[in-house]
A and B are shown apart, each in its own frame.
Chain A
Amino acid sequence: MAKKLLGRRPLLFILTALVLLFFYLRDSLVTTSVMSTSVTFGLPLAMAAMVGIMCERTGIVNIGIEGTLLVSSFVGFFTASLTGNLLLGLFAAVAMGAVAGLLLALLSITWKMDQIIAGTIINILATGLTSFFYKQGHTIPTTFPEFSLPGLSSIPFFGPVLFVHGPLTFFGIFVIIALWYALYFTPWGLRSRSVGEHPSSADTAGVSVLKMRYLNVTIAGAIGGLTGAYLTLELVGSWDRGFSAGKGFTALALMIFGRWNPLGALGAGIFFGVAQAITNQLMFSQVITIPQQLTNMLPYVLTILILAISAGKVRAPAAEGQPYEKESA
């Protein structure tokens, strides 16, 4: 269990803990706030990575995460804005995400379209539709409010970092851990992974490859919708064109860095979040002055670096990207 939790990078983990301790002893207030921010930066990325993990574990490549985030956050925001009800916005976003997932499933599973093209279609469709229907000047009355988990939040450092957040943050963390558990410790997980690795094995064992793929890609879409809602209704509180800002692609890098393991991707997401939060803090406190554009590049540069480092060392689900033809078994 401990090995699974820490992954195969215990050194990295210990090193991070030591660095944190050093800064915490020097300036506890700033360190705590930076780490708390890094959760809000990293978690949406990790959640978006779950979309990729769920799809790819069953053999469907989803590069439409970006579009899913964009369109579901759009629908979530405007539903909340027009009805004045945040919960309705949340449900609308989740439903929209599921629809995007279903579309990917239809294109890539039923129609056996090239999965990269199917994902691209979702991205383009999302950009086009949201830009077309976007109207300026809409607002939502409030965002999902932050609250403190009683008891836990009074632990020094960890309390404010982990246990003082909005409800969707907690829910997001729950989803990631639940997905990890389900993937490795339930029949559903075993079947999902077998479908992504060697679909004819699953088929000959009486597991419907088609149904598993449809189910998982659609649920993955719903998680994408949840992420979209989280971004707009809890973290930002507004919506603008190109709102998802490449998070869907960064998520794919996290997925790979985390070896298609939800906890691995969560770790990678936190790593990204910390990097972003530290940069912001350094800029804010004027320790460094670099143009905004350069810091905006950071996630992409990190993505490229990480992919370059992990290339060749990780193993993707074997049946990824291949439509399943029953009779060629």
Chain B
Amino acid sequence: MSSLLEMENITKTYPGVVANENISLTVEKGEVVALLGENGAGKSTLVKAVFGLVHPDTGSIRIKGTEISFGDTAGAIAQGVGMVHQHFQLVPIMSVTENIILGDEPRRGWRLDMKKAREEVLALSKKYGLVVDPDAIVEDLPVGTQQRIEILKALRKDVDLLILDEPTAVLTPQEIDELLTVIRNLAKSGVGILFITHKLREVMAVADRVVVLRDGKVAGATTPRETNEAGLAHLMVGREVVLRVEKGEAQRQDVVLSIKNLHTLDDRKLTAVQGFNLDVHAGEILGVAGVEGNGQRELVEAICGMRQRVTGEVLVSGIQTPDMQPRKVHLMGVSHIPEDREKHGLVASYSIEDNLVLNQFDQAPFAKGWIRNRSALESNAKTLVKEFDIRTPSIKTTAGALSGGNKQKVVVARELSQDTKVVVAAQPTRGR
């Protein structure tokens, strides 16, 4: 009997990059296969090929023994493939129901049957224990809920093979545990699952088999029983990895950031931060924990001068920072690694070189009066690309062309390479 999914010798090259090189992979019915690899190892490219979103150069893909034609998403769906995408594929202004039925809508004659659609969504939600409000508008929902919608969307059409592309990237630990349970239950009911991640814990917890990709090639295949997290990490990066950060006791010095009785509103003008007080000392790392959507974003933005402070003050080394003036706050020594790097961290159409000086382009040595200093820009970029291991063809490459992890390295390199008193990092390890 043929396997559920057989990929044979898949090769895909982009200009200057080999994303996949001769990759073969199988998934059986009822099996959870984890596809593990660093950012940019070619995991997403590979599974997008199965779903018809990427057109491989060579190779073949068979589902239940039937060869599928490349680039045919509707065909893949018809073959029983469902996919949960890394970047949510939801229409923000539409309702949950509309998003779930899109592409295969219940009809009454030639009209949409929204009543039936709604019932279908409720039944689906109940069947898999994934709670959603069918009438809510997607853009009003937190990411955890949006993720549930994505999964329901993929499961709606009795899938045989479910592909999950880094589904845990934006979830809290509790939400991840829920998701892993859902995955196990699905596998038990006979669905084959291809699960992409770079988180070792999840692989150990849920996978039957693990295939590790490195630089577009299969670096190894194993099972969680035969290995451990350190072994997987070794396969993933090709060298020994320290999984625990050894750090000594913090050497606390003076208070550098002081937040006093801060109040802010969220985008819907509802109270988000209420009478918040905090002191951060030099030499310490202070973590702010909590389920997303409880004011963390608003707090960060208020500190950095990107959001109106209703009342309260933010002091850096005892000096009050101005409200709603991010640039001045930055010049006072506050570096910011923003939650949404695409929106607030980078200009996608600018080169890496320019992105690395986004908040100091007009200062020495990067500018002399009105004129930009090209050689200083270049040497700065070359140093940082090397120091932070930003994988890029050149420093002139646009930031938008980089993979998510490398984009983040650009932001981090820029923010950490400057004279700074406080680093405000919002979800800095989130994969996007």
Contact = CB atoms under 8 A, between A and B. Distances in A.
A202 B92 contact: no
Given A201-B89, A205-B89, A318-B92, A190 B54 contact: no
Contacts of A85: none
Given A194-B102, A202-B102, A203-B73, A185 B111 contact: yes
A185 B112 contact: yes
Interface string A195-213: 0011011111111100000
B229 interface: no
Interface in B160-204: none
B102 A190 contact: yes
Given A185-B112, A190-B98, A329-B53, A205 B103 contact: yes
A206 B103 CA distance: 6
A247 interface: no
A200 B51 CA distance: 13
Given A204-B51, A204-B73, A198 B111 contact: no
A197 B98 CA distance: 13
Nearest to B103: A205
A186 B51 contact: no
A329 B83 CA distance: 13
Give the interface centre of A189, A194, A203, A204 by most chain B CB atoms within 10 Å: A204
A71 to B, nearest CB: 32
Interface string B84-100: 01010111111000110
A204 B94 contact: no
Main secondary structure of the interface of A (DSSP, over half): helix
Nearest to A194: B91
B370 interface: no
B102 A205 contact: yes
Interface residues of A, number: 24
A193 B53 contact: no
A191 interface: yes
Contacts of B93: 197, 315, 318
Nearest to A207: B103
Contact of B102 (A201, A318, A329): A201
A151 interface: no
A326 interface: yes
Contacts of A27: none
A203 B91 contact: no
A197 B53 contact: no
A202 B111 contact: no
A319 to B, nearest CB: 10
A23 B424 CA distance: 65
B89 A198 contact: yes
B53 A206 contact: no
B103 A186 contact: no
A2 B93 CA distance: 21
B112 A206 contact: no
B94 A193 contact: yes
A91 B294 CA distance: 60
Contacts of A189: 112
A291 interface: no
B105 interface: yes
Nearest to B154: A204
Contacts of A198: 89-92
A187 B74 contact: no
Across the A-B interface, the 4 shortest Cβ-Cβ residue pairs: A205-B103, A206-B74, A187-B105, A201-B89
30 contacts: A186-B110, A186-B111, A187-B107, A190-B98, A190-B101, A190-B105, A190-B112, A191-B102, A191-B103, A193-B91, A193-B94, A194-B98, A197-B92, A197-B93, A198-B89, A198-B90, A200-B89, A201-B89, A201-B90, A202-B91, A203-B53, A204-B51, A204-B73, A204-B89, A205-B102, A205-B104, A206-B104, A207-B74, A207-B103, A329-B85
Interface of A: 185-187, 189-191, 193-194, 197-198, 200-208, 315, 318, 326-327, 329
Interface of B: 48, 51, 53-55, 71, 73-74, 77, 83, 85, 87, 89-94, 98-99, 101-105, 107, 110-112, 153
